[in-house]
Structure 1
């Protein structure tokens, strides 16, 4: 199960690192054109903040146990991603972007598994 948790955390880290870097580096208009229509509902600063939080979560899922420094950050980062995916699903629901919610739910469930495993029976 430890290997499974590492694989899930790695997958989440890649997804959120990519998404976060994209939000931080690209202008709001380009994000909206590329399919992230939800960005129209948020200020540029908020979008950048979301991107930074995604990058920090990606780092928090991988680096602490690798460096053996405060590995409790892994489940905390996973909980942060769960909360972000809840907020994302609510945003998509309000905008009636129902197909997008499925992706949020999948990522939420993966992050919840990491949080459960690393807070519980498979803590570092």
Structure 2
């Protein structure tokens, strides 16, 4: 179970890193032209950049606290925050009619984060 949680956290950290880099460093206008990125056209630059920074922080928060042993409780807390972020992303993809593939993919990310939160708050807690 511990190995599965580490793999899930690593996978989700990569997803968060890629998403964060794209939102933080790619111009909003270019993001708005990508598949599933139509929402960016209606969002402010600050909002898009903030989402990018939050995703970068999530990438760090899913891995680093456990690796260095400082505040490892932040791993499941970060996973819960990711669940909330993905709930918003699902809502946005539905609202903008981006297609089922984006809703399904985002739902998978949400489920992985929920698994991490459950596992790290529960049976494979770093504090136990």
TM range (shorter): over 0.9
Deviation, structure 1 residue 92? 1.1
CA-CA distance at 1:89 after TM superposition: 0.6
Q: Which residue of 1 aligns with 2:45?
A: 44
**Residue 25 of structure 1, CA deviation:** 0.5
- Unpaired runs of 5+ residues, structure 2, are none
What is the TM-score with the length of structure 1 in the denominator? Answer: 0.96
Q: TM-score, normalised by structure 2?
A: 0.93
> Could you tell me how far apart the structure 2 residues matched to 1:4 and 1:38 are?
33
Aligned to 1:13: 13
CA contact 2:20–2:55 (8 Å) conserved in 1: yes
Structure 1 residues not aligned, in runs of 5+: none
Which 4+ residue blocks in structure 1 deviate beyond 3 angstroms?
Answer: none
Query: RMSD over aligned Cα, in angstroms?
Result: 0.9
- Structure 1 residue 98: deviation in Å? 3.2
Deviations 1:45-82 (A, max 9, x none): 00000000001011000000110000000001100110
Larger helix fraction of residues: 1
